[in-house]
A and B are shown apart, each in its own frame.
Chain A
Amino acid sequence: MKLSLPARLALGGFTLLTLVFLYLPLAVVLRLSFNPAKSVSWPGFNGYTLDWWRKAWESDGPKDALINSCKVAFVAMVLALILGTLAAMAMARFQFFGKNAVSFLMVLPIALPGIVTGIALQNTFSRTFDLGLFSFRVGFGFHSLVIAHATFCVVVAYNNVIARLRRSSPNLLEASADLGAHGTQTFRYITFPLMRSALLAGGILAFALSFDEIVVTTFTAGSGFETLPQWILANFSRPQNVPLVNVMATFVMVVSIPLAYLAQRLSDSGTD
């Protein structure tokens, strides 16, 4: 299809505008974190300051929230990787009844609105289940957040691993069996090395997804546990804390965007 030069230029210009649209708000927050004034007003040429960054580093609230977020995201990531990888291996290798339903089920937690997932899990965690011999209640705190986050992170790990397994040739497994390797050896020497970078990518993305989540988090955290997004949500409307919110928001951006880029590179590295 031959497009005229003006048409191509128009498309290019439009793409450039879209990129500006995507990055401008982020750049504004970045700039505001160095703004001497205490507002979200655009500073013009008011100069720069590192005070807020120092203050954010020195105050406990945002730092504790950051550490909490990292803990939850790490444990949720490990769980999601295990569950997602197992599911992906089963789905890539076997044909079975209800396979479509399983793939549907995996996508469901990110396709359904966070508020539905959140209220559903909150309702479950607050119940006491009486099993006759003993009764239990999940309750709220670190562990309930981990359970909730792992549930919607499974799909990222699953997607990354299954994409890799689908791309890799089944001949490799047959060759391995022909050469006399049994199941464990095939996994150790063939399947795992094939998936390694996909696992890393899936892990990073699952971590980022958990680290960033706010809706399900507000319903499943309980009162004694605060993650970084919760801290940001609670503080952006307090005028005296706006500068710290700018700093923490910028921090989230400058940490997660390069990580996401790395994940992107890793999940592509399996393509020939």
Chain B
Amino acid sequence: MGERLDRSAGIAEPGTTQISATGGRASGPSHPVRAINRVFHGRRRLGAGSLLGAPLGWMMFVYVGSLLLLVVSALYRLDPKTQKPTHDLTTDNLVAAFKFWDPDVWPAVWVFFRTAAVAMLVTAICFVIALPVAFFVAKVAPRWIRRGLIVAMLMPLWAGYLVKGYAWRAMVSPAGGRFAAAGQGEGGFLESVFGWSPGFGRTAIVVALVYLWLPFMVLPIYAGLDRLPPSLLDAASDLGAKPFRTFRSVILPMLLPSVAAGSIFTFSLTLGDYIVPQIVNNGQERFMFGTIINATLGAPNQPLAAAYTLWPLVIIILYLVAMKRAGAFDNL
């Protein structure tokens, strides 16, 4: 497309000068705006470069630069006396973070694998909930309420991350728990209304994480289903496919990029999360890997914490590359 535009711009040029010479707008050749426009005219590479310069420079210097420095800082030796990183390079931290067959290292690595398993579980649950919901909204619900429904699904995303974590604390908090000391302690909403609550702990963590990221899965699946031509579904049923067969052979394969897009959020956001998990398990257990990283940083052992962050960093970059292959980025 670029070349085509180039040529048409080339043809338009003499006309341009003529019109502005007679029309009088933007004045003569010495006008600074005009001069700038002349410099950019037809020079597409210069145009792209000057637009992209600032954002790309920012992202490279501030972000990619920081990530590289983080990797470098994982190679610094910690001075045992001052507990500050020195500039002596060592691979000790990498060994301490990645040599999982070492019994001293295994506990932390195990927490990472457990966190990855939780991320997969949360992704799977989000998928199982999001699919029927998105299907209902995109294909079954009366047309006039579709927009309203999808907006209603998305709005809780903006209620605030901490607010939602805190809300789940208020939901699951058990009777006679810590808040009983503060006065009336009949327990949180679930306990006092239904007489049952999972309490603070692992179940609460999974529920709260599903709650947090569910809209990220609903939206791309909805968009994917919305783009699915109804004629395709009609064709399947004309050919004798029952709804389940249509779903399995037509809808699901076409939805794959959308699901991949949704899973980027559900998987990677869960993998790195640790604040809401600590809120809803009342700090009882260092359940998520992020908690370990945070505790190591506060130890203080910045180099080891930096080495630990390489686990999620590497896994998520690999995951993103895989999902990009699956077409997820066009569905974000």
Contacts and interface: CB of A to CB of B under 8 A. Distances in A.
Contact of A180 (B23, B62, B141): B23
Given A18-B129, A184-B37, A229-B161, 16 more contacts: A1-B237, A11-B135, A29-B170, A40-B170, A40-B188, A102-B56, A112-B312, A115-B312, A120-B309, A177-B8, A212-B158, A214-B161, A232-B163, A236-B169, A257-B155, A260-B155
A194 to B, nearest CB: 16
Contacts of B329: 103-104, 107
B44 A94 contact: yes
Given A115-B293, A182-B16, A214 B275 contact: yes
A22 B156 contact: yes
B63 interface: yes
A260 B67 CA distance: 31
How big is chain B's contact interface, by range?
35 or more
A28 interface: yes
Interface string A13-44: 01100110111111011001000011111101
A93 interface: yes
Contacts of A46: 184
27 contacts: A8-B136, A25-B167, A26-B156, A26-B163, A39-B184, A42-B188, A84-B55, A93-B51, A107-B329, A107-B332, A113-B271, A115-B274, A119-B70, A121-B66, A123-B66, A123-B73, A154-B55, A182-B33, A182-B34, A229-B161, A232-B163, A236-B166, A245-B166, A252-B163, A253-B160, A256-B158, A256-B160
A3 B69 contact: no
B158 A260 contact: yes
A219 to B, nearest CB: 8
A88 to B, nearest CB: 9
A170 interface: yes
Interface in B21-72: 23, 25-26, 33-34, 36-37, 40-41, 44-45, 47-48, 51-52, 54-56, 58-60, 62-67, 69-70
A208 interface: yes
A87 B52 contact: yes
How big is chain A's contact interface, by range?
35 or more
A11 B180 CA distance: 40
Given A90-B51, A95-B2, A154 B59 contact: yes
Contacts of B297: 119
Given A1-B237, A40-B188, A123-B306, A90 B140 contact: no
Contacts of B271: 113
B162 A232 contact: yes
Contacts of A109: 59, 63
Nearest to B288: A115
Interface string B182-203: 1111111101110000000000
Contacts of A212: 158, 160-162
Q: Interface SS of chain A: helix, strand, loop or mixed? A: helix
Interface string A217-258: 000000000000100110010011010010001001100110
A84 B214 CA distance: 26
A173 B129 CA distance: 44
Contacts of B158: 208, 212, 256-257, 259-260
Given A86-B52, A94-B44, A151 B275 contact: no
B5 interface: yes
Nearest to A119: B309
B9 to A, nearest CB: 6
A106 B160 contact: no
Contact of A113 (B56, B67, B312): B312
Given A37-B184, A147-B62, A253-B163, A1 B69 contact: no
A42 B59 contact: no
A257 B155 CA distance: 6
A200 to B, nearest CB: 16
Contacts of B135: 11
Given A12-B141, A42-B192, A151 B305 contact: no
A96 B166 contact: no
Contacts of B233: 1
A192 to B, nearest CB: 14
Contacts of B169: 40, 236
A120 B68 CA distance: 8
Contacts of A215: 272, 275
Contacts of A26: 156, 159, 163-164, 167
Interface stretch (B90-98, B100-108, B145-153, B252-260): B145-153
A105 interface: yes
A49 B59 CA distance: 48
Given A111-B268, A182-B26, A183-B40, A94 B2 contact: yes
Nearest to A94: B48
Nearest to B150: A264
A210 to B, nearest CB: 12
B124 interface: no
A180 B55 CA distance: 30
Contacts of A158: 55
Given A87-B51, A151-B63, A113 B316 contact: yes
A116 interface: yes
A261 interface: yes
B80 interface: no
A178 interface: yes
